[in-house]
Amino acid sequence: MNLRLKLYPLSALLMIGIAFLASCDAIIEPSISKKQVILEAPADQYQSSSYSINFWWDEVEHALSYRLQVVSQSFASPGGLVLDTVVTKNRFSFTLDPGKYQWRVLAQNGSSQTAFANPRDLEVEASSIKLQTVQLNSPANNLITNQSVQTFQWGSLFGATKYRFEIDTNNFSNESTILSNQIIPGQQLNYTFPKDQSYQWRVRAENDTAQSRWSAINSIIYDHTPPAVPALVSPTNGQTVSLPVTLQWGAVTTAVRYKLYVFKSDSTSLYNTSFPLSVTTTSYSFNLGSPGDKIYWKVSALDAAGNEGQASELRSFVLQ
């Protein structure tokens, strides 16, 4: 028997080894238990005249989220747990009442976590609400929704007895034509959009003698108009085709994705549990079935607000 050994260059073996390690890293989540979270701001012993505090720390490699805790007084002798939240970014803003606090952060992924960073001391000093700003909580800035009734929420501000909520469609360029201006005792309001449009909203805290600064201006788009009907391109209705079958349709201007419906020969039973299938392209390669099967299909379009338009015509094709 004549055996031949194939020798690979060292560079090729090195590349194979790197690719193998990279694939293992993607499959086996690295432990971060020995890593440390480095806190950046506020600095230890920081004294703030602003009630709105911006927490910031360094990112940790392979971390998926971070747990931020804030207590009144200290973690050794806490007066109360003020904040315990999990965030995916390495920054978080929160409004605190005047007082003394400590804060700390740990990093985590699906299988491990770091220890908490050493806590830092923070003091929020009492001051007039004239120097303060309300933080907007929800909806998120630049949200696109098809829900006509929206709940707006914002954070409380120490010293405030009421809040002024304003919503507009012209970015508050003209105070006399603002769409809605309401005084609210709490931190929540339900508002019904009159029509499809882009809106802006803001909030200000008030008491009997002073007003805070206006919050940031957040935007929200209300859209309940469904996209147009997709036009099917190929295969033509009743066409005999071979597998795989490329199902194609025309793009719809406002669509961000499409819903593909594939049915069995009775034209009403979905082909399998994968359908209807959500796709972002205007084609799909269908590779199921046996010769002689008659299969039906149609497509609908969905926009960024979640509106689903009317489905296309129902077409069929036969597998050869």
Q: How many C-beta atoms lie closer than 10 Å to residue 294's C-beta?
A: 16
| Per-residue pLDDT tens over the stretch 5-53 | 455 555 555 555 555 555 555 568 999 999 999 999 999 999 999 999 9
pLDDT at 18: 53
d(Cα 81, Cα 20) in Å, to the nearest integer? 46
**Distance set, CA 205 to CA 122, 125, 131, 137, 217 (Å):** 24, 18, 11, 14, 14
Task: For 130-222, give the CATH class.
Answer: mainly beta
For residue 297, give both structure tokens.
């299909």
| Per-residue pLDDT tens over the stretch 202-248 | 999 999 999 999 999 999 999 999 999 999 999 999 999 999 999 99
What is the CATH architecture of 39-127? Sandwich (2.60)
pLDDT at 288: 97
pLDDT at 218: 98
User: What's this model's pTM, rounded to 2 decimal places?
Assistant: 0.80
Q: How many C-beta atoms lie closer than 10 Å to residue 98's C-beta?
A: 14
In one letter, which amino acid is 223? Answer: D
Q: How many C-beta atoms lie closer than 10 Å to residue 240's C-beta?
A: 12
What is the CATH architecture of 232-319? Sandwich (2.60)
Distance of CA 26 to the CA centre of its chain: 23
State the average pLDDT over residues 85-104: 97
Residue 4: pLDDT over 60:
no
Residue matched to tokens 């002073």: 210
pLDDT at 3: 47
39-127 and 232-319 agree in CATH topology = yes
Share of the chain above pLDDT 90, in %: 91
**Distance set, CA 148 to CA 184, 192, 193 (Å):** 20, 6, 5
Q: Which residues contact 2 (CB under 8 A, 6 or more apart)?
A: none
Torsion, Cα 219 226 229 142, to 10 degrees, reads 10
**Distance set, CA 182 to CA 107, 130, 162, 191 (Å):** 41, 19, 10, 11
Share of the chain above pLDDT 70, in %: 92
Q: Write out the E strands in 25-142.
A: 39-41, 46-48, 52-57, 65-73, 78-87, 91-95, 99-108, 120-124, 136-138
State the average pLDDT over residues 96-109: 98
pLDDT at 248: 98
Domain boundaries in the chain?
Answer: 39-127, 130-222, 232-319
Range with lowest mean pLDDT among 13-27, 156-170, 221-235, 271-285 = 13-27
d(Cα 239, Cα 247) in Å, to the nearest integer? 12
pLDDT at 10: 53
